[in-house]
A and B are shown apart, each in its own frame.
Chain A
């Protein structure tokens, strides 16, 4: 029934029919390519199986049906899985939103409890010095006239934390007394940094558009923005259609207090005056 398989190296037995392209392959991959067609197809059969050469048979049909069934099942399952994948994504997104609103709730709760504690301690009768310290540290909400700077990047344009920091820095130099970025007040311990692709201030992520509100002398701040080149920098980017930059006067702005954890000092203690002056 079986003649010598084509891989055999024996020379005395007659070789079965080989494909004209076939030769003794050397490497493993060559061998795979050379023997791509199953050796059994080359066998010349006699007897019972000699007439199984036809393609028009039920066995072929059954196997092809099986093949198409597998392909179809996989395709159908893939098509069905796709919506469930986007459902997972939506669920994760809503989880994130839920977590963020939860965090905001907890922060608000903490703030109100803090206020309650303050009230119970009777510290509401603060000395003028303490009130001034709180104002300077950003620990209390303030109101006043100043400037409102809005930066709205075009789609696909990123504003780095360093660029925003430089701008805020110039505001301080120009005489700003209180600054908030997207409603996050700049406190004594506030940092503005990039974290995981988002800009984080007071450990709260903010996104575009960026609105910086500052209370202070408008004229000196504007002068400083102009002299430092910040105005020029942002206007240049605006002229390249990367963002819209706008500085406008704003009256009676209300800036919230910075969160307690950004104005409360636990480790540092004041140096006694006699040592500090030496």
Chain B
């Protein structure tokens, strides 16, 4: 119940306050979201496999977001921002799909 509350609160805060993201951080938001999505899908799979650990979830979420943003930042500084973003997206995409496939296998036995 509490996690669902968290989801609702997140959406509500975003819609009501509509916080302005600093322009300097804006390029990193989309990739940070993909990284966060990876952590969330991983957590969902862990829940299904009865392995969920909120401490691991928190750490993986925060570190995923920070590392993804940092890699893109580093790429921007080196002038290969878009290529590095692609690399990050490929890795995260594979992880998301693999985890989603594991969830699917568990739920539908297919």
Question: How would you classify the secondary structure of chain A's contact residues: helix, strand, loop or mixed?
Answer: helix
Q: Is the CB of B54 within 8 A of A65?
A: no
Whether A41 contacts B10 in the complex (CB less than 8 A), given A55-B3, A60-B3, comes out as no
In the complex, A57→B37 CA distance in Å?
Answer: 19
Q: For residue A32, which residues in chain B have a CB less than 8 angstroms away from its CB?
A: 91, 94-95, 98
In the complex, which residues of chain B have a beta carbon less than 8 angstroms from the beta carbon of A49? 53, 55
Contact of A233 with B by CB under 8 A = no
Per the 8 Å Cβ criterion, residues 33-80 of B in contact with A are 33, 36-37, 39-40, 42-43, 45-47, 49-62
A55: which B residues are within 8 A, CB to CB?
3, 47, 52, 54
Q: Which of A53-67 contact B (CB under 8 A)?
A: 53-67
- Range for the number of chain B residues in contact with chain A: 35 or more
Report yes or no: A54 in contact with B54, Cβ–Cβ below 8 A: yes
Q: Report the nearest A residue to B93, measured CB to CB.
A: A32
Among B15, B59, B96, B97, point to the contact of A72 (Cβ < 8 A): B15
Question: A73 within 8 Å of B by Cβ?
Answer: yes
**Residues A68 and B60 in contact, CB atoms below 8 Å apart:** no
- Known contacts A36-B42, A68-B14: does B2 contact A60 (CB below 8 Å)? yes
Among residues of A, the one whose C-beta sits closest to the C-beta of B6 is A61
Chain A residues with CB below 8 A from B30, complex form: 74
Which A residues lie within 8 Å of B2 (CB)? 56-58, 60-61
Q: Could you give, for residues 27-62 of chain A, a 1 whenever the CB lies within 8 Å of some chain B CB and a 0 otherwise?
A: 001001110111011100100010011111111111
Chain A residues with Cβ under 8 A from B91's Cβ? 32
Check if A19 is an interface residue, CB within 8 A of chain B. yes
Q: What's the interface size class on A, roughly?
A: 35 or more
B19 touching A73 by the CB < 8 A rule?
yes
Question: Is the pair B61, A74 in contact by a Cβ cutoff of 8 Å?
Answer: no
Q: Does B89 contact A (CB under 8 A)?
A: no
CA distance A60 to B44 in the complex (A): 11
> Which residue in A19, A40, A59, A73 is a CB contact (below 8 Å) of B60?
A40
- A52 near B6: Cβ-Cβ < 8 Å: no
New A-B pairs, 13, CB < 8 Å, besides A21-B105, A38-B42: A41-B49, A41-B56, A59-B58, A60-B2, A63-B61, A65-B10, A65-B13, A66-B10, A67-B36, A67-B61, A68-B10, A69-B13, A71-B14
Q: Give B residues with C-beta under 8 Å from A.
A: 1-3, 5-11, 13-15, 18-19, 21, 26, 29-30, 32-33, 36-37, 39-40, 42-43, 45-47, 49-62, 91, 94-99, 102, 105
19 A-B pairs in the complex with CB atoms less than 8 angstroms apart = A19-B49, A19-B102, A33-B98, A36-B95, A37-B51, A37-B102, A38-B60, A40-B60, A54-B54, A55-B54, A60-B2, A68-B8, A68-B10, A69-B10, A69-B14, A70-B32, A72-B10, A74-B29, A76-B14
